[in-house]
A and B are shown apart, each in its own frame.
Chain A
Amino acid sequence: MTTTLLYDGSLNGLLTTIFIIYDHKIKSPIISKASKTQKNLFDGMEVITTDIDKAKRVWNRFESLCNYRDSHQVYCAFLSEINGIENTIYEYIKSTFQKQKTPSGDFTNPSVLKIAQAAKMVGREKHRMEAFVRFHLIDEKTYYANIEPDFNVLPLITKHFKNRYADQNWVIYDLSRNYGISYDQNIVQEVYIDFKTPKGQRGILNTTATSNKNNIELTTGFQEKENNYRDLWNQYFQSTNIKSRKNLKLHVQHVPKRYWKYLSEKL
């Protein structure tokens, strides 16, 4: 019989769950997010309460057995939020504990291959977001961008934007996961915004907010100067295209349509 273990969706939650599996000697567990699971009458079901200490014990041991590249790969795979990735991560960590070293590079092992592939997908999305974020100056000094990435990549892109835009205030907001990161030229913080407009209707221009927890005031509309720069960028995008080499298939492959609504040049 399988046991379904429900965790809160955080990495610490997953690691706590793995701790509990060892602690309670649970055979054939199915790890799943509490928010995503429906009640199953026949199997056992257990809700896991996240415990930072337990999570740390699992992670520290795991990290001590592998190099940074391997543990980062597992972290990236976790951020993919792919269905069933929790069990793959569990298999991977279990195998690491058993053999006292990571199975990294054993691509004939399905869970190793899956972790590598998931991490690759997340890495690609991270890179895309570094490219596709389009900042708009929404007041005198704050640059704001909406994104809707396929995976939860905000934790991965923080460092890149912090290093690059060290002298400006910026906010990048993940609309599909409803949280953002904000930088005040000093530190990067997580922020939440209560939007006036419903989810489907927020384009790049629609950044109006009523109230928010971390004191970021978002004002309506743009200054005229801002529209000018957007316009100049669109002009540049048009002028740099070579018509006799038109290749729309390649274009869409590199700039998939799902990202267009936040790219000012594609609107």
Chain B
Amino acid sequence: MNYERIKEKLEILADAAKYDVSCSSSGSKRQNKNKGLGDSSGMGICHTHTEDGRCVSLLKILLTNVCIFDCAYCVTRKSNDIKRAAFTVQEVVDLTINFYRRNYIEGLFLSSGIFKSPDATMERLIRVAKKLREEENFNGYIHLKSIPGASDELMQEAGLYADRLSVNIEIPTKAGLKLLAPDKDHKDFIKPMKAVQNSIQIYKSEKKLIKNTPIYAPAGQSTQMIVGATGESDRDIMYSANFFYNKFQMKRVYYSGYIPVANDSRLPAIGTEVPMMRENRLYQTDWLLRFYGFNIQEILNETHQNLDMDIDPKLSWALRNLDQFPIDINKADKRMIARVPGIGMRSVGKIIRARRYRKLNWQHLKAIGISMNRSKYFMTCDSRDFETRDLTSSKIKNLIMLNSNSKYHKNFNNQLNLFS
């Protein structure tokens, strides 16, 4: 192995792959078999975090950054003048195995620029995964990219070796896609998703009848959307995320604040700040949908098209629905406790277990660890001391923001003074 050459390739191809934000290595059921290498049946592990605070759990690289497409938002687009490189199948296998053995990574996340044709690219990705599984007896996590436009047969094969498959739809609206990636067709993204979803269902139902049916993409599918490239609203983004969760049983939808990589009049200019705050609010909304039992229409709708930047979406929802509060923490059902701002799902579980023993008061709730600053306006407990003033939404919001200590606070101080 020519080490210097590999290092150079790694530099180019890891750099090109880093805009894919998916980093999860959990949700697979692949156990170590025959005393081989690796096990991905447990929880995901972040082996380190880069200086931007994002986790490193997989070796995330492109097989090649040669690409026949010219999507405006992408670094590896055909017209971009950058160094190109390509790994051989064996090089990727060696890197993965040797990194894994040293406990650097949980597995491989392999993507690629599209060279020659979608099928030729997909076929090469599958060869890496197949070699890892069959020749190296590797049971670590493998995340393969589904190449838009790849045939159903190849997608079917990919799932036999990969734990997760993903297609990034990147642009949440069809109009945006037409503008920024004129050679790509919306259908090409949907087709591999459908193929994988079908296979997952087939293998699952077969597994019920025949025990030794091989596992097929046990960690499911995910996708990613770029935020802030085409002027779409939060509602556009979250409604399409919701569509993918429901229609394709996606395990995750990732939101990636657009990082300007090109001087293109259709896109934000280079040097524009990455919309990290907005990204954060979108993830919070995503969590409310998946774990807190919220319906998307409750959070984003015709009259409320964008998320508030200064407060989290749950607080924002609660302030718009003050008629449902305050709740009695000792009596309310799980669903309503989960809707109180400042109470997370962990605390919901603790409150429900703890109140079986005795009625909870403010001290108890504080000791359990819920955020009193946000929650106290929305509940009562075993105490005579509770919010008796009839406060308006904007008053509550101001009181909460006065006492909160967000890292984004500096962005909002002016607004606060203006309206209070």
Interface on A for B, CB 8 Å cutoff?
103-109, 113, 127, 130-137, 143, 145, 160, 163-168, 185, 228-229, 231-233, 235-251, 253-255, 263, 265-266
Q: Which residues of B contact A229 (CB under 8 A)?
A: 98-99, 102
Contact of A265 among B3, B48, B103, B259 (CB under 8 A): B48
Asked if B360 is an interface residue, CB under 8 A from chain A, the answer is: yes
Contact of A131 among B45, B54, B98, B367 (CB under 8 A): B45
Assess whether A251 is in contact with B11, with CB atoms less than 8 Å apart. Answer: no
Given that A106-B354, A107-B354, A134-B103 are known contacts, is A245 also in contact with B276, CB under 8 Å in the complex?
Answer: yes
Given that A135-B101, A136-B102, A239-B10 are known contacts, is A232 also in contact with B48, CB under 8 Å in the complex?
Answer: no
Q: Which residues of B contact A185 (CB under 8 A)?
A: 35
Q: Which residues of B contact A236 (CB under 8 A)?
A: 10, 14, 59, 99
Asked if B32 is an interface residue, CB under 8 A from chain A, the answer is: yes
Asked if B60 is an interface residue, CB under 8 A from chain A, the answer is: yes
Per the bound structure, the CA–CA distance linking A57 and B51 in Å amounts to 51
Assess whether A244 is in contact with B38, with CB atoms less than 8 Å apart. Answer: no
Asked if B70 is an interface residue, CB under 8 A from chain A, the answer is: no
Asked if B84 is an interface residue, CB under 8 A from chain A, the answer is: no
Given that A163-B32, A240-B14 are known contacts, is A130 also in contact with B367, CB under 8 Å in the complex?
Answer: no
The 10 tightest CB contacts between A and B, nearest first, are A250-B53, A105-B353, A239-B14, A245-B52, A241-B50, A254-B49, A247-B53, A107-B354, A166-B35, A106-B357
Per the bound structure, the CA–CA distance linking A22 and B367 in Å amounts to 31
Given that A108-B360, A166-B36, A250-B49 are known contacts, is A240 also in contact with B7, CB under 8 Å in the complex?
Answer: no
Please list 10 pairs of residues, one from A and one from B, whose beta carbons are closer than 8 Å in the complex, sorted by A's number.
Answer: A113-B368, A134-B103, A134-B104, A143-B102, A167-B36, A229-B102, A236-B10, A236-B59, A242-B52, A251-B50
In the complex, per-residue mask of B347-364: 1 if CB is within 8 Å of any chain A CB, else 0: 000100110111010001
Asked if B47 is an interface residue, CB under 8 A from chain A, the answer is: yes
Per the bound structure, the CA–CA distance linking A235 and B407 in Å amounts to 31
Min CB distance A66 to B, Å, is 14
Contact of A235 among B10, B102, B354 (CB under 8 A): B10
Kindly report which residue of chain A lies nearest to residue B359, judged by CB atoms: A108
Question: By CB atoms of chain B within 10 A, which of A160, A240, A249 has the most?
Answer: A240
Assess whether B104 is in contact with A239, with CB atoms less than 8 Å apart. Answer: no
Min CB distance B50 to A, Å, is 4
Task: Name 11 extra pairs, CB < 8 A, besides A165-B37, A233-B104.
Answer: A113-B367, A134-B102, A145-B103, A163-B39, A237-B56, A239-B18, A240-B18, A242-B18, A248-B51, A249-B53, A251-B49
Asked if B188 is an interface residue, CB under 8 A from chain A, the answer is: no
Per the bound structure, the CA–CA distance linking A254 and B48 in Å amounts to 8
Assess whether B7 is in contact with A242, with CB atoms less than 8 Å apart. Answer: no
Q: Which residues of B contact A253 (CB under 8 A)?
A: 53
Kindly report which residue of chain A lies nearest to residue B352, judged by CB atoms: A105
Given that A107-B368, A108-B360 are known contacts, is A233 also in contact with B102, CB under 8 Å in the complex?
Answer: yes
Min CB distance B76 to A, Å, is 14
Assess whether B54 is in contact with A245, with CB atoms less than 8 Å apart. Answer: yes
Contact of A108 among B99, B103, B367 (CB under 8 A): B367
Kindly report which residue of chain A lies nearest to residue B8, judged by CB atoms: A235
Q: Which residues of B contact A136 (CB under 8 A)?
A: 102
Assess whether A244 is in contact with B259, with CB atoms less than 8 Å apart. Answer: yes
Assess whether A135 is in contact with B102, with CB atoms less than 8 Å apart. Answer: yes
Kindly report which residue of chain B lies nearest to residue A224, judged by CB atoms: B3
Contact of A167 among B35, B99, B360, B368 (CB under 8 A): B35
Min CB distance B9 to A, Å, is 10
Asked if B6 is an interface residue, CB under 8 A from chain A, the answer is: yes
Assess whether B364 is in contact with A255, with CB atoms less than 8 Å apart. Answer: no
Kindly report which residue of chain B lies nearest to residue A255, judged by CB atoms: B49
Asked if B95 is an interface residue, CB under 8 A from chain A, the answer is: yes
Given that A108-B358, A167-B35 are known contacts, is A233 also in contact with B101, CB under 8 Å in the complex?
Answer: no
Taking CB atoms and an 8 Å cut-off, the chain B residues in 1-50 that contact chain A are 3, 6-7, 10-11, 14-15, 17-19, 31-32, 35-39, 42-43, 45-50
Per the bound structure, the CA–CA distance linking A250 and B3 in Å amounts to 33
In the complex, per-residue mask of B98-116: 1 if CB is within 8 Å of any chain A CB, else 0: 1101111000000000000
Q: Which residues of A contact B11 (CB under 8 A)?
A: 235, 238-239
Kindly report which residue of chain B lies nearest to residue A130, judged by CB atoms: B45
Per the bound structure, the CA–CA distance linking A254 and B49 in Å amounts to 7
Per the bound structure, the CA–CA distance linking A243 and B15 in Å amounts to 11
Q: Which residues of A contact B45 (CB under 8 A)?
A: 127, 130-131
Asked if B74 is an interface residue, CB under 8 A from chain A, the answer is: no
Assess whether B48 is in contact with A105, with CB atoms less than 8 Å apart. Answer: no
Assess whether B18 is in contact with A167, with CB atoms less than 8 Å apart. Answer: no
Contact of B350 among A107, A130, A237 (CB under 8 A): A107
In the complex, per-residue mask of B250-269: 1 if CB is within 8 Å of any chain A CB, else 0: 00000001010000000000
Per the bound structure, the CA–CA distance linking A231 and B364 in Å amounts to 51
Asked if B86 is an interface residue, CB under 8 A from chain A, the answer is: no
Question: By CB atoms of chain A within 10 A, which of B37, B51, B54, B99 has the most?
Answer: B51
Q: Which residues of B contact A242 (CB under 8 A)?
A: 18-19, 50, 52, 54, 259
Per the bound structure, the CA–CA distance linking A1 and B7 in Å amounts to 69
Q: Which residues of B contact A231 (CB under 8 A)?
A: 3, 7
Q: Which residues of A contact B14 (CB under 8 A)?
A: 235-236, 239-240
Taking CB atoms and an 8 Å cut-off, the chain B residues in 66-103 that contact chain A are 95, 98-99, 101-103
Contact of A247 among B51, B103, B137, B368 (CB under 8 A): B51
Asked if B274 is an interface residue, CB under 8 A from chain A, the answer is: yes
Min CB distance A195 to B, Å, is 22
Q: Which residues of B contact A251 (CB under 8 A)?
A: 49-53
Min CB distance B396 to A, Å, is 27
Question: By CB atoms of chain B within 10 A, which of A229, A245, A250 has the most?
Answer: A245
Kindly report which residue of chain A lies nearest to residue B53, judged by CB atoms: A250
